[in-house]
Amino acid sequence: MSTNINTIRDLAERDYKWGFVTEVEEERVPRGLNEDIIRLISAKKNEPEFMLEWRMKAYRYWASLAQSQAEPKWANIKYGPIDYQDIVYYSAPKQKAKLNSLDELDPEILRTYEKLGIPLAEQKMLAGVAVDAVFDSVSVATTFKEKLAERGVIFCSFSEAVEKHPELVKKYLGSVVPYTDNFFAALNAAVFSDGSFVYVPKGVRCPLELSTYFRINAAETGQFERTLIVADEGAYVSYLEGCTAPIRDENQLHAAVVELVALDHAQIKYSTVQNWYPGDKEGRGGIYNFVTKRGKCAGLNSKISWTQVETGSAITWKYPSCILQGDNSVGEFYSVALTNNYQQADTGTKMIHLGKNTSSTIVSKGISAGHGQNTYRGQVKILKGAAGARNYTQCDSLLIGEKCGAHTFPYIEVKNSSARMEHEASTSKIGEDQLFYLQQRGLKTEDAVSMIVNGFCKQVFRELPMEFAVEAQKLLSVSLEGSVG
Amino acid sequence: MSLLEIKNLHVTVAGQEILKGIDLAINSGEVHSIMGPNGSGKSTLAQVLARRETYQVTRGEVLFDGKDLLAMKPEEAACEGIFMAFQYPVEIPGISNTYFLRSALNAIRKYRGQDEMDAMDFLPMFREKLKLLDMEEKLMNRSVNEGFSGGEKKRNEILQMAVLEPKLAILDETDSGLDIDALRIVAKGVTAMRSPERGMLVVTHYQRLLNYIVPDFVHVLVDGRIVRSGGPELALELEEKGYGWIENEARQSAPASV
């Protein structure tokens, strides 16, 4: 296997392809966190009083947790203490005035997107995708708004939503993930700078796949995004989220919150491809990704699907969940999480069954390579009223090499005896025999590894929108080019 | 020049010498069979030729088409034209047979500087080959070897061989675990692939496969050495008498053990 090991080592030692920093003039608030900073952020964003109040409540709650050192420690991840006073909580590229078209965009930013291969302008439009690009913390470009507006779909930055649709924001903000939910959710609520907002009105099928590219660019700047998607009765929306970040030595904290609300007969499909800087091969640097994502199937026959392909970040702490409140509502979670080198991931989902005949499906594929540690943590809760609830969980781990680890923590709580639960789990290893077989048929080592891994992830990939699936496969091959031996 | 030329090949696995000086030449158009009792080194020889890296060559050389085979990686050997039908084909969940085979074919074509074959050109050719092996097309949409019976797996190996059209086909105990019907189909496929442009090395424990694939030459491998070579009649003799007598003979004539 010596040749294999060498090839793979060479590939693994390739630098992070997307590591570069754009020089853009930034507007920052002073380092640290206190009530004045919260006021400053809110003022900079010209927010109405209710937002400031909410932020203040969140901040005070977070500060009380921070004081009692209530940062969650139960996850199977290890990292040094985070100094929350050493973070700059708001930075936005300076802009002179509102933009009318992409031509007015800072050319540096445009070039960054080009390097990332983000076809922000023409290509995406031709492909029928509206892009709300988030550069650092402020949305700098939005396309296809008119087309969406024709159908009454609101797709805009969070700031804009606060300004133009305060009643919707007020109604749904924090309704799925309250600021008291957890340490990081509280922090996000206090300091979030921007994000995306989607509202699809009654009976409307959103005509486009909505997509946002997040990007962390400013050094030592924690990024706190907040996304809120509401699908009104009978509405349908598919939202894509994808990202890469430039190389950095310092660890960067990212604590986002995503809330989804599906009313009667509504459907939300939320897909993520995440490729933030994972740190170097010695485990230095990389993004700390502490995210709270949760959807509420509030209405009858509603459905929420989470699909994620996670290959980036030094640490991932993320459990996209569904609260199945409406009768007959459906929750789905399809996940591929890859950890290579010294990456750590503690990820999974929660399916909380409240309504009758609710059903949930969990398909989790964990891939560990190098010294990567990959943990699946899932909770399925069937409450008393959830007669006829069903859950199917499949949880597979693939190990590449000898030094990585896969861990599984499924929690199942059933309080209604009519529930039906299925749980399948497997752990396998890319074996020398599998590799040799593919090589004997003419495939190079890296192609062989990627074929095996792509096969392993197929169930998840096929849940992704087509263009995303292709991107995800490429991403996996690149991230993976990393470790047999 | 022979297609394959093995000279004084010595191979060890985990410090133990398995092949102790093999000499063998195979020309295009010839079918050679390697027979021998369990543990004689038959499979080792096949795997070394396919360039499996768990085996260490300590002495000797192997030329394939005039090139140094032992300097090649497995995928290079494959692209140069060596194909091995596995004794235990592995499963690749989530990857369809069709996709896998087209990827393999295109990897080889790319290596040879040929254009990659698109699905439109691939499918008609593929269907022809499927017919040859009595295989249903719908099987090909399933994952590689997943849920295949033993016989289906072996047929799939020969199908791959038929698609990839190697210069040298190595069959590693392809008959093991096959019932008589499957054996016939496999043999039919292999026989259809005999050609003046192709050499074959059929590794087997039992003679019965050779009723269907009649070799030009039979070599008997005992304890890491070829102790006897002959025509197809040698296989029949072994079938009748077993390996005992030839092992005894070999032991008596072997040079003092190392």
Q: What is the pLDDT of residues B213-245, one digit of tens each?
A: 999 999 999 999 999 999 999 988 888 888 888
Contact criterion met (CB below 8 Å) for B144 and B92: yes
CB contact under 8 A, B90 and A451: no
Mean pLDDT of all residues in chain A?
A: 81
Contacts for A22 with CB less than 8 Å, ≥ 6 apart = A108, A109, A111, A112, A217, A246
CA distance A398 to A413: 27
The C-alpha of A143 sits at a distance from chain B's nearest C-alpha, in angstroms, of 36
**What is the residue range of A386's domain?**
2-480
CB contact under 8 A, B74 and A440: yes
First vs last C-alpha separation in chain A: 8
Q: Does B139 touch chain A (CB under 8 A)?
A: no
- pLDDT of residue B93 exceeding 70, the answer is yes
Q: Closest chain A residue to B109 measured between Cα atoms?
A: A442
> What pLDDT, on the 0 to 100 scale, is given for residue A343?
87
CA distance A460 to A332: 11
Higher pLDDT pick, B199 / B151: B199
Please give the C-alpha separations between residue A197 and each of A210, A265, A393, B207, in angstroms, as whole numbers: 11, 20, 31, 73
- pLDDT of residue A263 exceeding 80, the answer is yes
> What pLDDT, on the 0 to 100 scale, is given for residue A129?
44
Q: For A69-105, how does the pLDDT look when each residue is reduced to its tens digit (9 = 90+)?
A: 778 888 888 888 888 888 888 776 554 444 555 565 5
Contact criterion met (CB below 8 Å) for A436 and A429: no
Q: Which of A8-22, A105-119, B116-130, B142-156 has the lowest mean pLDDT?
A: A8-22
Q: For A201-242, how does the pLDDT look when each residue is reduced to its tens digit (9 = 90+)?
A: 999 999 888 875 444 444 444 578 899 999 999 999 999 887
> What pLDDT, on the 0 to 100 scale, is given for residue A102?
56
- Please state whether A210 falls in left (phi above 0), alpha (psi between -120 and 50) or beta: beta
CA distance A304 to A291: 18
Residue A102's SS3 state is: helix
Q: Closest chain A residue to B92 measured between Cα atoms?
A: A452
b/e sequence A184-198, b meaning 16+ C-beta within 10 Å: bbbbbbbbbbbbbbb
CA distance A25 to A153: 33
Q: Does B90 touch chain A (CB under 8 A)?
A: yes
CA distance B52 to B46: 9
Would B258 be classed as within a structural domain? no
Categorize the per-residue pLDDT at A22 as very low, low, confident or very high, splitting at 50, 70 and 90. low
Q: Does B92 touch chain A (CB under 8 A)?
A: yes
Query: How far out from the chain centre does Cα A244 lie?
Result: 12
CA distance B60 to B58: 7
Contacts with B79 from chain A: Cβ below 8 Å: 442
- Residue B27 belongs to domain with CATH number: 3.40.50.300
CB contact under 8 A, B50 and A440: yes
> What pLDDT, on the 0 to 100 scale, is given for residue A357?
97
Chain A: which residues have CB within 8 Å of chain B? 1-4, 431-434, 436-445, 447, 451-452, 454-459
CB contact under 8 A, B92 and A438: yes
Domains: count for chain A = 1
Q: What is the mean pLDDT of residues A188-209?
A: 91
Contacts with B105 from chain A: Cβ below 8 Å: 442
Radius of gyration of chain B (CA): 18
Q: For B137-153, how does the pLDDT look when each residue is reduced to its tens digit (9 = 90+)?
A: 888 889 999 999 888 99
Which residue in this structure is represented by tokens 């997509």? A211
CA distance A218 to A224: 13
- pLDDT of residue A127 exceeding 80, the answer is no
Domains: count for chain B = 1
> What pLDDT, on the 0 to 100 scale, is given for residue B245?
82
Contacts with A457 from chain B: Cβ below 8 Å: 94
Q: Which of A2, A436, A455 sits opposite B74 (nearest CB)?
A: A436
Kind plus residue range of the DSSP H or E element containing B191: helix B180-192
- pLDDT of residue B112 exceeding 70, the answer is yes
Contacts with A445 from chain B: Cβ below 8 Å: 75
Q: Does B40 touch chain A (CB under 8 A)?
A: no
Higher pLDDT pick, B93 / A329: A329
> Highest mean pLDDT: which of A326-340, A443-457, A461-475?
A326-340
> What pLDDT, on the 0 to 100 scale, is given for residue A96?
40
Q: What is the mean pLDDT of residues A281-293?
A: 85
Contacts for A182 with CB less than 8 Å, ≥ 6 apart = A72, A292
**What is the residue range of B115's domain?**
4-253
Q: Does B69 touch chain A (CB under 8 A)?
A: no
Q: Does B178 touch chain A (CB under 8 A)?
A: no
CB contact under 8 A, B90 and A442: no
Q: Which of A434, A444, A456 sits opposite B75 (nearest CB)?
A: A444
CB contact under 8 A, A442 and B111: yes
CB contact under 8 A, B90 and A431: yes
- pLDDT of residue A32 exceeding 60, the answer is yes
Contacts with A451 from chain B: Cβ below 8 Å: 92, 95, 100, 103
User: Number of Cβ pairs closer than 8 Å across A and B?
Assistant: 80
Q: Which of B54, B84, B143 sits opposite A440 (nearest CB)?
A: B84
Within a 13 Å sphere around the CA of A325, how many CA atoms are in the beta-carbon half? 15
Q: Does B143 touch chain A (CB under 8 A)?
A: yes
CB contact under 8 A, B78 and A445: no
CA distance A93 to A95: 6
Q: What is the mean pLDDT of residues A275-290?
A: 81
The C-alpha of A3 sits at a distance from chain B's nearest C-alpha, in angstroms, of 8
Would A485 be classed as within a structural domain? no
Q: Closest chain B residue to A451 measured between Cα atoms?
A: B95
The C-alpha of A463 sits at a distance from chain B's nearest C-alpha, in angstroms, of 14
Contacts with B108 from chain A: Cβ below 8 Å: 442
- pLDDT of residue A4 exceeding 70, the answer is no
Categorize the per-residue pLDDT at A251 as very low, low, confident or very high, splitting at 50, 70 and 90. low
Contact criterion met (CB below 8 Å) for A350 and A320: no
The C-alpha of A445 sits at a distance from chain B's nearest C-alpha, in angstroms, of 8
Contacts with B88 from chain A: Cβ below 8 Å: 433
CB contact under 8 A, B52 and A436: yes
Q: What is the mean pLDDT of residues A371-375?
A: 88
Q: For B41-77, how does the pLDDT look when each residue is reduced to its tens digit (9 = 90+)?
A: 999 999 999 999 889 999 999 999 999 999 999 999 9
Residue B144's SS3 state is: strand
Directed axis angle between helix B119-132 and helix B97-111, to 10°? 110
Contact criterion met (CB below 8 Å) for B30 and B217: yes
Contacts with B90 from chain A: Cβ below 8 Å: 431, 433-434, 437
CB contact under 8 A, A444 and B160: no
The C-alpha of B181 sits at a distance from chain A's nearest C-alpha, in angstroms, of 26
Cross-sheet strand order for the sheet of A303-310: A138-142, A129-135, A209-214, A236-244, A267-275, A303-310, A330-339, A359-369, A390-400, A420-429
Contacts for B97 with CB less than 8 Å, ≥ 6 apart = B139, B140, B141, B142, B143, B144, B156
